[in-house]
Structures are given as C-alpha cells and as structure tokens.
Chains A and B, each alone.
Chain A
C-alpha cells in the first residue's frame, strides 16, 4: 500500500503538471558531493567561491535536476515510474540556501511504447528560471499499479 497515487499511462493527459519545492541546504550539497565524489571547490569551498564570478558556493546542477526524478518517481506519474532520458539546460546558477521549485508538464504521450514526454522548468525563490529541459519517462504499468495498491 502506498500513499501516493499511481498513475498509469491511461491516467495521464497532455497538459498535466506537477511540482516540488525544496530549499537546497548545505547538508544536501555536502552529502551529494560525498555520494558522487564531486568536491569541486565551487560547491564546497567558500573562500574559493568568493574569488569567482559566482561569489558564493553553488549547488551542483545535477542535484536539483534530480528533483525531476523525485517528482516522477513519487508524485506524478508516481511510484513505479522509470526515467528513460533527460535533457537539462542550466540557465542560471543555484546557491546553497536557494529554494528551488521544479515543475513538469506533460507534452506528449505514446501509449504503444508506454512513454510520456515532459517539459521541465526549475525556478529559484525570485522566480528566475535556472533550468529547463525535456525528459522521457515510462509510467508504472497496470500490473505495477495493482501490486502497489494491493
């Protein structure tokens, strides 16, 4: 039994949207750096960052891009969803402490291959676009939905 709604391809329509807002904490950035082994000083060294055009430590671009995976895997379409491909364009940087809202919108659905195309936009707390992209996902199958809701 899961809390989230499980949406199969038949429950999804073009124009459907979902979003997730999260403040990126220093703890997030440092744990993420540890997992992937990316201790780029632009992310974890305040003194180094001061001497760059960025002035402060930046969050890893792929950290907040990962919120796309959070939305599709837990909220919409929800549990059982598989990520097929993802394109990301970083238009601005996010700093530690920024609050990022990730929003996706369904743009295309292919019932034959069970694939759904999503447009993605991340904005910061000042409503500035920091990331855009397009992804392809496979929503949970009817069988998965049955297993998750039984």
Chain B
C-alpha cells in the first residue's frame, strides 16, 4: 500500500514531461476556500455586487486556480514528496463557478545540482480559452523519501 508515495525523483524526469489535472470549480470549492483564506471579496461571494461589475457574475479566486498547480506537483509530476520553490502566475481571463478548468504542467528545464525542476503552467477553461499562465520551480522528492522506510 505504498503506491501513492512514489513521486518521481529528478533522475526520472525529462524535459517535455507533461501532466494534467481538470476540475469543475464548484460553489463549495469557492466558499470553503473563502473560509480558509478569509478572502470574502464581494466580486467572488456577492452575486448582487458582481452583477454590477463587468464580470456580471461572481468570479473564482485567482489564487484558488493558481493552487491547482500544487495538485499536479504534489500528486503527479513530480508527485508525492515534492515541494515548491517559486511560482509566477498571470490571471488572463475570469473563471466562474461551474466552469471546468484544466491545468497543464510541462517540464522545461532540469537543475540537477539544486534538485529542482522548472515547469511551464497553463490553465484553460471548457471553451479552450486560456485563463491563466505561469512558470514554477519545484523540488522533486529525494530517493530516501518513502513510506516503507518511514515505517521501519
């Protein structure tokens, strides 16, 4: 039962490796995220106010969308045991509750001496519109991380 703990170490990562995660952003996601962060910006949680803005309806927190990078990094590429070093995101188009977004993460550079990997990040909505783009640097798990060893 240790399959979930197998993140890729740097030797198993190649430039061009790609991973995805897609999710419909539900109202519960936005409400819970607002609760955790304390961000109750009315553009996001007030339908009446949002209707008067050029967005016309509540938008999803940009940093919630940016956080989807953490899903790919922490569960897929490199996977379990990875940590973040840096990340830069630009929010290009609004995302609304009920939209389905897909994040694509692609390895563009590998730095063996610092055990870090640079990744291109792109987020698209269900209409194929780019809503966010970014660049992140992460540290993949080291070979000594693992559940079997943890139990021993």
A residues at B contact (CB < 8 Å): 2, 20, 22, 28, 31-32, 34-43, 45, 47-48, 50-52, 54, 58, 60-63, 65-70, 73-74, 79-90, 93, 143-144, 147-148
Q: Are A58 and B42 in contact (CB under 8 A)?
A: no
B89 close to A68 (CB less than 8 A): no
**Could you give 13 example pairs across A and B, Cβ below 8 Å?**
A22-B38, A40-B70, A41-B80, A51-B144, A60-B70, A62-B66, A62-B84, A63-B67, A80-B42, A80-B53, A86-B89, A87-B89, A88-B86
Considering only CB atoms, which chain B residue lies closest to A68 in the complex?
B63
Chain A residues, CB < 8 A from B23: 37
A-B contact sample (8 more), CB < 8 A, given A84-B90, A88-B86, A148-B49 = A32-B67, A48-B147, A51-B144, A52-B81, A54-B83, A69-B61, A73-B61, A74-B41
Taking a contact as CB atoms under 8 Å apart, the answer to whether A39 and B74 are in contact is yes
Tell me if B82 and A40 are in contact (CB < 8 A): yes
| Min CB–CB distance A29 → chain B (angstroms) | 9
Least distance between B140 CB and chain A CB atoms (Å)? 12
Residues of B within 8 A of A45 (CB): 147
B68 — which chain A residues lie within 8 A by C-beta?
Answer: 36
- Whether B84 and A90, one on each chain, are in contact in the complex, defined by CB atoms closer than 8 angstroms, is yes
What's the Cα separation between A39 and B70 when bound, in Å? Answer: 10
Q: A37-B21, A37-B23, A85-B90 are in contact. Are A31 and B36 (CB under 8 A)?
A: yes
- Given A73-B39, A73-B41, A90-B85, residue A35 in contact with residue B33 (CB < 8 A): yes
Query: B80 — which chain A residues lie within 8 A by C-beta?
Result: 40-42, 48
A51 and B81 CA atoms in complex are apart in Å by 11
- Is B43 positioned at the interface, with any CB of A under 8 Å from its CB? yes
Shortest Cβ gap from B14 to chain A (Å): 21
Complex: A66 Cα to B39 Cα, angstroms: 8
A88 to B32, CA, bound (A): 23
**Interface range on chain B (Cβ under 8 Å from partner):** 35 or more
A47 touches B147 (CB 8 A): yes
- Is B114's beta carbon under 8 Å from chain A? no
Q: Which residues of B contact A147 (CB under 8 A)?
A: 49, 52
Of the candidates B71, B87, B151, which one forms a contact with A88 in the assembled complex, judged by CB atoms under 8 Å apart? B87
* Interface contact A32-B33, CB-CB below 8 Å: yes
- Look across to chain B and name the residue whose beta carbon is closest to the beta carbon of A72: B41
Q: 5 tightest A-B contacts by CB?
A: A40-B74, A73-B41, A51-B150, A70-B39, A83-B62
